[in-house]
Structure 1
Amino acid sequence: MHHALGYLKKHYFHYILLAPALILTLIFKYGPMYGAVIAFKNFSPIKGIMGSEWVGLKHFEKVLSAPNFEVILINTLKLSVYGLLLGFPVPILLALMLNQVRRAGVKKNIQLFLYAPNFISVVVIVGMLFIFLSPTGPINQLLVWMTGEPVMFMSRPEYFRWIYILSDIWTGAGWASIIYVAALANVDPELHNAASLDGANLIQRIRHIDLPTVRPIMAIVFILAAGGIMSIGFEKAYLMQTAMNLPTSEIIPTYVYKIGLQAGDYSYSAAVGLFNSVINVVLLVTVNIVVKKLNEGEGLY
């Protein structure tokens, strides 16, 4: 006890600097967790959380027995897993390619071009998709010239996932590569020079010098991405939805919005959201354990 107090006294200034972030986290992250109790009650806005009737696991049973919930869960998993598998390697490849650009001015211009889509509003991105993929848009004009028939991209369910995932990669891959570019900047150029003198080609240098440098970061980013696999964005999916593509575009976040805010079934939507969060936590812990075993003990925690 005395040792702990002495340590705190010695490093008190660091804890003062940490205090605002800790307080904000407690208020805006842990504080709202109290609202999860709504999932176990028949919540009434008039009676409030404490005054509402306790019903236990009734809403969770309703979630698991809902005829369309299995489809919605599969849609969410497919969109997230496919997006992770296709999108995770792209920032790494971009960083490795940027690392080979030696002229600082050219490298900065390329980075600016790659990072710019990340700052475009989701609403604007979806609007661009509807324009480019519309029956009279440039892509369909090319298809009409080649095949004679347009393709209704935004109305056909089989195209929704690919449009969502590829547009996500376009907007986010450049920005996501920053952390890998920063890590590669710390690689000693003498290592590459020595490897070149020993006869190593570009692929060999990347494999044995660059990739080991970013491997710990890759592990952490992958764990965080896999842990949030059920927390796919609501806004973009909802904006891209049409009456025709609902079989693949209806996911848990859009379902919660429609049931909770539009239909007013707050308790049921809270149960769906809590179920979703529990899956995220389980995935986070599981993936962290697996990655630590495969990555020589290096994980998120």
Structure 2
Amino acid sequence: MTSVWKRLQRVGKKASKFQFVASYQELLLECKEKWQPDKLRVVWTRRNRRMCSKLHSWQPGIKNPYRGTVLWPVPENVDISVTLFKEAGADAFEDKEWTFVLEGECKGHRKVLGSAAINLKNYASATPTQTDVRLSLKPLSVKVVEAELKLSLSCIFVREGKATDEDMQSLASLTERQTRRGRRGRLQRERRRRRRRGSHPRGPRPALPPPPARRRDLLPRAPPPHRSAAACHLPGKSSRVVRAAPPGGANVSRRQRRVRWVSRRRAFRQLPSFGR
């Protein structure tokens, strides 16, 4: 919705695309006692766009070991494409700020040390220009006392058109729009996933009620017939185990089975009927 509102605001405006090139020359950094940076980099950023320089070592001074510099023997160039907008009858462009951020890196951890913003409309020109810029960075860490960046900023005019043309859209706006679309797509997929999982939510399922008791489980069970644990091993090739017969012989065991069957039958008749 924000991108649509921006495009509506730019209806009837003119757009001009420029290419800016920043050449870093020198970086001055003064720190507090008991701390010195290891590696430093300069990041030129706006919204989701980040143009980073290479990592460079910080060299402490001789007089003050906590005040050092980073020198580029050969200037390091970082270029960006920027679209500036203005009203149809106006001469000046609208404001568009980019920020130079100083970052320190030690053992893979990044820390923001300072930043300074510049308004690119002040450096835009229809003819190629080059301007020496000296920025005083605002300290963003308690360990930083002072920070200063020296660079040269070049501007080259690319083309001019309407603000609503697709090829004149700012790259930062396009990147932000793509990021927003990606977020919206992820949210929609997550909602669909939750709807599909609505009937079976995650987490422990509720305990099921115990099954109804069966009629045979309610019958009293007679004790197992007596068997002697005494056994004898017959000598020979095979080690067979011969158990002793129960006392009373085979007739006693048959009688016990008959008594047990009669008792279970009587108990079954005394049970209440289940839907019979």
The bucket for the TM-score relative to the shorter chain is under 0.3
Greater strand proportion: 2
Q: Which structure's relative contact order is higher, taking Cα pairs within 8 Å and 6+ residues apart? A: 1
Greater helix proportion: 1
Provide TM-score, normalisation by structure 2.
0.18
Provide TM-score, normalisation by structure 1.
0.17
Q: Which has the larger radius of gyration?
A: 2
